[in-house]
Structure 1
Amino acid sequence: MTTSEDNAFPLSRRTVLAGLAVTLLAPNIARAVETAAPVAKPADAKVVDPQTGKPAAAMADPPLLAGDYAKERHKFRTDLLNKGPAPDKYEPLVAPSGADQIFYRSGLGGELELVAWVSRYERTPKPKPAVLFLHGGNAIGQGHWLLMKPYIDAGYIVMIPSMRGENGQKGNFSGFYDEVADVLAATNRLRHLPGVDPHRLFLAGHSVGGTLAMLAAMSTKHFRAATPMSGNPDAFAFFHRYPEDIRFNAKNPREFQMRSAICYAHSFKCPLKVTHASEEANIDPRLALLAKRALAGGVKMELATVQGSHNSALPGEIEQSIQFFRSVAV
């Protein structure tokens, strides 16, 4: 790992907003995750309930299923009917300023070699805490990295992994399932980096990355705490809004259940603070149900709303995540 000094000064609002502006202008802009609200469609378009295959104007609550999500993952294999790359436009994979580009292996037998960006840091006698941040959208961009400065200034080593099929890389986009395996593989890569404290490993993610953060936090005990931001815990609702992203067999409800944290809310394996923007009111009922189920299952979970839109609230959500991580472990 190359060397740099940890910044000790507080992050200015201008710097945060500058990073946010780059993200908003990047071609892989984070996708909004409004849930359940009917969407205006062409007159000949049909929106169906993936559980029944019938036209639907509103979505029912997904079932609460028994069993541990991590164990269920070992028994389930997604059935991809349409194989290909992630759907978003992308930038060339070039390491941003202040980051090193490394690789991690994922997929069956480690056949996928995927890119991750890691902040430059000096090894110290005491290992440093680290944050695995899962980007929004379905491609990684320079704008995502600029938003990581608050974590770096707070003393964290930061990694942003790309996922299979993103930015021209190998692998098939699956929409919230095989990508979880990539997150777990990236987790192992980060926790074994020299100078990283594996006992102070934290997880955060925004939008699509927020959903993946929920599913990953149910799949491993390696995280000390997690902060999903503006993620959707309900795949039934998400794909109701974005049916063009369905690559799997939509006739099988199990495909949706295994992409829905709300169906296995008791399976979270670390404390969570789940945040969303004040302008994302449509997601409130889903997150409230997620929290109700999680708390009933003995999970430590907080919900918080940050003023702003899906993208403009992100700096505030990142600040809240840092405060939460510090409250869990110094």
Structure 2
Amino acid sequence: MTSPEEPAFSFRRRTFLTTLAASLIVPKIASALDVPAEPQLMTGDYEKERKKFRTHLLNKGPAPDNFEPLIAPPGAEQVFYRSGYGGELELVAWVSRYERTRKPRPAVLFLHGGNALGQGHWALVDPYVDAGYVVMIPSMRGENGQKGNFSGFYDEVDDVLSASDRLRHLPGVDPHRMFLAGHSVGGTLAMLAAMSARRFRAATPISGNPDAFAFFNRYPQDIRFDDKNPREFQMRSPVCYAHSFKCPMKLMHGSEEVHFTTRAGLLAKRATAGGVKMEVTVMPGGHTTALPGEIEQSIAFFKSVAA
């Protein structure tokens, strides 16, 4: 989830020119939504439900955030992966050094915050690299001038899974020790991806919002789908399918992010009741200031699951 604190790691969102351009391109700006006190707990498995559901985008176009050119930062190599129907989208990802070795190395797929990939995001993953992981940060459809339509937490999940396929087939990567992490918008995508496929050993969403009703009430300008259909929100809400996680989970957020407390607690309660191994940790700080400690916590969690 994007917050006012995030410009430390990406360009400032919603500048005057961006807002003006969006008003010319997007004919409908959604009004504030009614947020249920407790989103409905659905009975189906999220992975199976995704195969039956197609989001209905009323407004098609790029991701809403300002962006910088996709040039790999120092220490990263730029690679491409394919996503979308029939692999129609060729998207950029950044990956740390990898090479074929006698003993394959574990890997982390890290999902960036906001709706554009910036070089500042790469600095966040240094601790993972230092800990011996091969790390990939993928961009998503519609970001940074790339092809594809921004959908807000839905079709982007396919991009995450496609990027994970690219990562696990890199030389020297152990496909059985692949982990998932994400911050803010990336934290929500990490939850949805961890419910969509059984390929991650563990996942650590950081400051991800598990409730799409609450998220889009806060950012109605990001809605591109039919907001009259509650299924659109449910399929973007991990809290509605909390029993569907396919790996151990460690949710984290900063102590100053009090708006996460209730929903994270509800998610953990539902997930645990459904047999999911999940813990919630609150770290000192805010949306970005808590990140160093949260990333160190995620490394410790990954090592506890599979060294």
Q: Would you call these one fold, judging by a TM-score over 0.5?
A: yes
1:98 alignment counterpart: 75
Instruction: Report the Cα offset of residue 60 of structure 1.
Output: 1.6
Q: Which amino acid letter does the alignment assign opposite residue 65 of structure 1?
A: M
Structure 1 position 199 matched with structure 2 position 176: yes
The residue matched to 1:249 in structure 2 has which SS? coil
Structure 1 segments of 4+ aligned residues over 6 angstroms from their partners:
none
2:114 is equivalent to residue 137 of structure 1: yes
Q: Secondary structure at the match of 1:218?
A: helix
In structure 2, C-alpha distance between the alignment counterparts of 1:28 and 1:73, rounded to whole Å: 33
After superposition, give the CA deviation of every residue in 1:177-211 in whole Å (9 maximum; x if it has no partner). Answer: 00000000001110111110000000000000000
Q: Given residue 116 of structure 2, which amino acid in structure 1 is its aligned partner?
A: A
User: How far, CA to CA, are the matches of 1:308 and 1:251 in structure 2?
Assistant: 36
Matched with 2:232 is 255
Say which one has the larger Rg: 1
Which residue type is aligned with residue 235 of structure 2? M
Shift of 1:59: 3.7
Kept in 1, the 8 Å contact 2:68–2:118? The answer is yes
**Shift of the alpha carbon at 1:120?**
1.2
Q: CA deviation at 1:149?
A: 0.5
Give me the whole-angstrom Cα distance separating, in 1, the residues matched to 2:7 and 2:130.
Answer: 19
Equivalent AA in structure 1 for residue 234 of structure 2:
Q
1:228 alignment partner, SS class: strand
Match in the other structure for 1:237:
214
Task: Show the counterpart of 1:27.
Answer: 11
How far, CA to CA, are the matches of 1:291 and 1:48 in structure 2? 24
In 2, distance between residues paired with 1:149 and 1:123? Answer: 21
Contact 1:133–1:159 (8 Å) recurs in 2: yes
Equivalence for 1:327: 304
Counterpart of 1:295, as a letter, is: T
* Paired residue type of 1:193: L
5+ residue gaps, structure 1, are 1-20, 30-44, 50-57
Instruction: Give the partner amino acid of 2:136.
Output: M
Give the secondary structure class of the aligned counterpart of 1:171. coil
Residue pair 2:6, 2:288 contacting (<8 A) in 1 also: no
The 8 Å contact of residues 6 and 287 in structure 2, kept in 1 or not, is answered as no
Corresponding residue for residue 103 of structure 2: 126
Go from structure 1 to structure 2 and tell me whether the alpha carbon gap of 1:22 and 1:76 turns closer, same or farther (over 3 Å shift).
Answer: closer
Query: Residue 28 of structure 1: CA displacement?
Result: 5.4
Q: TM-score, normalised by structure 2?
A: 0.91
Match in the other structure for 2:133: 156
| Of 274, 281, 298, the match for 2:258 | 281
Structure 2: distance between partners of 1:249 and 1:28: 27
Match of 2:32? 47
SS at match of 2:79: strand
Instruction: Please say if residues 88 and 137 of structure 1, whose CA atoms lie closer than 8 Å, have aligned partners that are also in contact.
Output: yes
Question: Aligned residue for 1:83?
Answer: 60
Report how many residues are paired.
Answer: 288
Q: Which residue matches 1:271?
A: 248
Question: In the TM superposition, what whole-angstrom CA distance separates every residue of 1:24-63 from its partner, at most 9, and x where no partner exists?
Answer: 063057xxxxxxxxxxxxxxx95231xxxxxxxx642100
CA 248–194 in structure 1, closer or farther in 2 if over 3 Å, else same = same
Q: CA deviation at 1:229?
A: 0.2
Question: 3-state DSSP class of the match of 1:213?
Answer: helix
SS in 1 for 2:196: coil
The answer for the alignment partner of 2:289 in structure 1 is 312
Query: How much has 1:23 moved relative to structure 2?
Result: 6.0
Contact 1:104 1:116 in 2 (8 A): yes
Secondary structure in 1 matching 2:40: coil
In the alignment, which residue of structure 2 is the partner of 1:228? 205
Whether contact under 8 Å (1:203, 1:227) holds in the other structure is: yes
Structure 1 residues 148-167: Cα deviation after superposition (integer angstroms, max 9, x where no partner): 11000000000000000000
Distance 1:210 1:111 in 2: 26
* Counterpart selection for 2:143 from 154, 166, 172: 166
CA contact (8 A) 1:28 1:140 kept: no
Unmatched tracts of structure 2, length 5 or more? 14-29
Instruction: Please give the alpha-carbon distance, in whole angstroms, between the structure 2 residues aligned to 1:211 and 1:28.
Output: 20
**TM superposition score normalised by structure 1:** 0.85
Q: Deviations over 1:284-325 (max 9, x none)?
A: 000000000000000000100011010111111100000000
Q: 2: CA distance between counterparts of 1:223 and 1:194?
A: 18
CA 1:47–1:23 in 2, change beyond 3 Å: closer, same or farther?
closer
Shift of 1:282: 1.1
